[in-house]
Structure 1
Amino acid sequence: MDVPPIAGRVTAAAEGDVVVFLIGMRINRWRSVRHWLPTFMAMPRMLKELAREGDSGLLGFRGYSAGPRTHTVVQYWESREKLLAYASTPERQHRPAWTAFNRRARNAAGSVGIWHETYIVPAGSYESIYHGMPPTGLGAAYGVEPVGRRGERAAERLAG
């Protein structure tokens, strides 16, 4: 669905700390499909599960590919507690996928690589501006508001 751009200058309506989770994979051996395909297919299942559950804590996400081998998902979470709860709950998609990945990785000889980074960004340490853009990044996750409410300049918005 093509979302129209928002006219004028807006900023993300985030309050307090922001939790950003980056996760990705890299296909190292194309011919080892049995090792990388399950990893590749696991993320869409997790994102669908999280989107179905209104209180999961996932506020928004965006996927990116850097060529055919490398795939990354940027996620915005309500709190570190909800992110960690999702990752560790055995009844949710993540835990069984992680267990299966580790089992396959023992015999995969590096056929697929995975990584993640988690950032807890304190209030006053992030800012954003969107001009003529559809909701993107923090703005898509938290909604947007007119720039004037947070300050016209980046330095003002970073002041908290």
Structure 2
Amino acid sequence: MFAKPLPGYTTAAAEGDVVVLLIGMRINHFRGVHHWLPVALAMPRMLRELGRDKSRGLLGHVLLTASPRTYYVVQYWESKEKLYAYAAAPDMFHHKVWGIINRKVRASKQRQHVGLWHEAYIVPEGSYESIYFDMPPFGLAAATGALPVESRGRRASDRFAHRP
């Protein structure tokens, strides 16, 4: 099932602060498939877990490939508090996976087969711009809803004018 494009220019309907988390992995040695495949399979499971419980704070996500070696997810969160709460919750899959990864890294044999990374950005309300043209809702707009660009202002400077 494909999403239908919204005609014209649209923007994200995000209200309040949004946390953007980029999180991914890099396969450093393809031959070490038994090291990196479990890591690659963990993220979809975490995303399903979060999708079943919207109160955890994940608004939406986009899976991306940067190269044949590098895969990542752009995640949109309601707040840094909800992001950190999920990451540290002992009853959630992330906590279990992170413990396993840390134990294997300490065992040293797995080191350097797979690289892990994340970057988190807190985007204060009004300090972002998102423009989509003849697109279905994507990225932040898919996570928060889409609005006509004019609802945020005609010019880019207008859309950023209410920044704190």
Amino acid at match of 2:110: A
Question: 1:132 & 1:90 partners in 2: Cα distance?
Answer: 43
Structure 1 residue 30, shift from structure 2 partner: 1.0
Partner of 2:116: 114
AA aligned opposite 1:149: S
Name the structure 1 match of 2:61: 61
1:92 counterpart residue number: 92
What do the CA deviations read for 1:72-99 (whole angstroms, capped 9, x no partner)? 1000001111100000001101001111
Displacement of 1:109 in angstroms is 2.8
Is 53-62 or 98-107 further displaced after alignment?
Answer: 98-107
State the distance in 1 between where 2:138 and 2:111 align.
Answer: 37
Letter in 1 for 2:43: M
Q: Which runs of 5+ in 2 are unaligned?
A: none
Give distance in 2, aligned partners of 1:115 and 1:129.
Answer: 27
Q: For residues 81 and 107 of structure 1, what CA distance do their matches in structure 2 show?
A: 34
Q: Which amino acid aligns with 2:103?
A: R
SS at match of 1:7: strand
Count of equivalent residues: 160
Deviations 1:4-57 (A, max 9, x none): 100111111111211100000000011111211111110000000000112110
Say whether residues 1:80 and 2:80 are aligned partners.
yes
Structure 1: gaps of 5 or more residues: none
Identity %: 58
What residue is the counterpart of 1:133 in the other structure?
A: 135
Deviation at 1:149, TM superposition (A): 1.4
Q: Match of 1:43, as an amino acid?
A: M
CA distance in 2, matches of 1:2, 1:24: 26
Q: Work out the CA distance in 1 between the residues paired with 2:91 and 2:161.
A: 41
- 1:143 is matched with 145
